[in-house]
Amino acid sequence: MKKYLICFLLLITLFASGCGAESYPSAIITRDEANTGGNLSFVYDSHDRCVYFGGEGEYIQFYSGDEVKGLDEGYRVGIKVTAPNDVESVEGATLEVNGASYTDFLEKVEGQEQNYFYIYPIFSEKTRETNFNITWNKNAKPQIYKIILKKQTNFLKGEG
């Protein structure tokens, strides 16, 4: 009887600790191909899951809105976020950016969902940080990331 009780308690402990959710390494994050934001320094700390842009004497560019891409006007940067190599499926992936949730955000090539997406956060003198959470599939634990525009970064007046 004691054996069954111990086994039962072990099972409960495993399920309570999130046994079914997969934990993946950090995503692969690079600048977007257009270097949106301008000639800014870029550092990705995969351990802390933080992306840093800018620095002393650097300027972030202003962009007009883009209806096709669904982008508002403002000072923005662009990054490409690719699933870790361990992620075999992105079915059921979800993205949350500053409280807004998305399910149709992965890039598509010839109608097929890819394992990456782009994000273009808007920054201002008052807002220099954007958070996003990505859950790579329905069995994955969410990953939390930050994109930070360094305080020393200036804002370029006019369009970039």
Q: pLDDT tens across 16-63, in order? A: 444 568 899 999 999 999 999 999 999 999 999 999 999 999 999 999
CATH of the domain at 51: 2.60.40
From the number of C-beta atoms within 10 Å of its C-beta (0-12, 13-18, 19+), residue 123 rates as buried
Q: How many domains does the chain have?
A: 1
Helix (H, G, I), strand (E, B) or coil at 2: helix
Supply the pTM of this predicted model. 0.84
- State both tokens at 94: 């979800």
- 91: in domain: yes
Q: pLDDT tens across 100-137, in order? A: 999 999 999 999 999 999 999 999 999 999 999 999 99
